[in-house]
Amino acid sequence: MTWLKNRQITPFGKVTTDVIIRAAQEFGTPLYLYDESVIVRKCAEALSMPSAFGLTVRYAVKANASRALLQLIHAQGLQLDLSTLYEARRAILAGIPCDRMMLTSQQVPGGKDREDLESMIRNGLTYTVCSLRQLTLISDFASRHGIPLALRINPGVGAGESVTRNTGDNYSSFGIHLAALDRAAELIRDRGLTVRQVHVHIGSGGDPDMWRDNIDRELQITEKYFPDADTVNLGGGFREARMPDETAADIQVLGEHARDRFEDFARRTGRKLHMVIEPGTLIMANAGYVVARVVDEKWSGPTGFEFIIIDAGMEINTRPLLYGSRHPFYIVSENGTLLSSEYDLNAMKYELDFRVVVGRCCESGDSQSLDHQGHIIPRMMADPEIGDLFVIGGTGAYCSAMSLANYNSLVKAPEVLLRTDGTLRLIRKRQTLKQVVEDELALE
């Protein structure tokens, strides 16, 4: 029964069954485990995207903002895409200089926030205006200091993994809509502002063909409205394949298309535009795992399901509940044998059957396998023993960062990085109950 021992559990990197066992023994379950070798490789993949006149890659910090990861990703040569002033402050705490940051936010900073924003801009942060109000509020400061701006546009066409991940159509409030661009251009002219960078992010995990088609749309907008722009930011949103039957966006193919379109634009207009992308999912999704433990099992009768209860659920990986996303499952026995892997079901020596995986939250949506309407979808896997480890793949992006931690007063799970030398490094401690309640005030 040892043939599957110390085996790499996924096609993505260096995580083996031994690594899973070691991480669980050393840090307890549940935990998030990240594979440095995958992060480094994905950063290199993003940086190798073809472009016509130069490329800047900004890591979308919202995907995972853990300090060690920001430092690691920044050290690979990526700059940062930030969505809030808090993310910017967090990046500064991680030691990343403002001139490596771009802030594209729904926030309208006032008071101290406004002061901080202006100080960050003076230190080199690129500020993306996302509404007419933001444009009006920043205009005095920007024209007084001669600071060029970026401007986010909603092109009216978007694409996402789910309806809620589409940020480019008429249902989306992100950026200044195409229909309001005349007004924006007028304000820019009247207030003597310079827009250097045109920004569009149409959504996350959508159809790569729509991402490709957005390039021409954005170049047309740049040509019509932004004569001073020297940079076009195409956003993030590259679809990743977390499950074996999913297909990832091809960065090389998309880059080659972008290069052609930017070259064509240069031939027609004489303008050689710099290109920016802002991947989050691409860098982190398949670098991460949730390592959980099987704690119970139940059966809901002959017409029901076989449930496996693990010590991690919607509070650790909310994506199945939020988007109907699928993540690959792996089961590792307590002695380190790989009992089942959705990447290699045919090779499994153990009896497999359809089962449902649920967490500990008092919520019927707390399952790791749901469709877009929230219906439970059983999945093929081995029959684990209580105490075996249940691993959920594809959980590096929008899992720890988007967790519903503290629901049911569950504490936030620790984060561990598998270094390229094989060592395990704790990069976030497990939260304590004391930390959960420390800001609460008693009546007496």
Q: Which residues bind ligand PLP (CB under 6 A)?
A: 60, 62-63, 81, 104, 167, 201, 204-205, 235-238, 278-282, 397
Helix (H) or strand (E) holding 292: strand 288-299
For ligand PLP, give the closer residue by CB, 81 or 118: 81
Alpha carbon separation from 232 to 46, 111, 219, 321 (Å, rounded): 16, 31, 8, 34
Nearer to ligand PLP, 153 or 417 (CB): 153
Token pair of 298 as six digits: 């139940």
To ligand PLP, the closest distance from the beta carbon of 349 in angstroms equals 37
114 backbone dihedrals φ, ψ, rounded to 5°: -65, -45
CB of 159 to ligand PLP, least distance (A): 11
- CA 312, CA 283: separation in Å to the nearest integer? 24
The H or E element spanning position 297 is strand 288-299
Residue whose entry in the numeric block shows the structure tokens 């497999």: 352
Q: Find the shortest distance in angstroms from Cβ 235 to ligand PLP.
A: 5
User: Residue 350 has which token pair?
Assistant: 């153990």
Give the residue from 286, 319, 282, 280 showing the smallest Cα distance to 83: 280
Least Å distance, CB 155 to ligand PLP, is 13
Q: At closest approach, how far in Å is the CB of 199 from ligand PLP?
A: 7
Q: Are 141 and 147 in contact (CB under 8 A)?
A: yes
Nearer to ligand PLP, 10 or 167 (CB): 167
In the bound state with ligand PLP, the residue whose beta carbon lies nearer, of 237 and 320, is 237
Nearer to ligand PLP, 51 or 167 (CB): 167
Distance between CA atoms of residues 46 and 55, nearest Å: 10
For ligand PLP, the closer of residues 120 and 282 by Cβ is 282
- The minimum distance between CB 256 and ligand PLP, in angstroms, equals 19
Closer Cβ to ligand PLP, 24 or 159, answer by number: 159
Please report how close the Cβ of residue 399 comes to ligand PLP at its closest, in angstroms: 12
CA separation for the pair 422, 36 (Å, rounded)? 10
Per the CB < 8 A criterion, the answer to whether 7 and 17 are in contact is yes
Q: Are 61 and 70 in contact (CB under 8 A)?
A: yes
CB 372 within 8 A of CB 324: yes
Closer CB to ligand PLP, residue 160 or residue 414?
Answer: 160
CB of 295 to ligand PLP, least distance (A): 32
Q: What stretch of H or E contains 151?
A: strand 149-154
Token pair in block for residue 374: 């929230």
Residue placing its CB nearer to ligand PLP in the complex, 240 or 311: 240
The type of residue at 193 is L
CB of 238 to ligand PLP, least distance (A): 6
Q: HSE, CB side, 13 Å, CA atoms: give it for residue 147.
A: 25
The beta-strand segments (E) located in 315-363 are 329-332, 338-341, 352-358
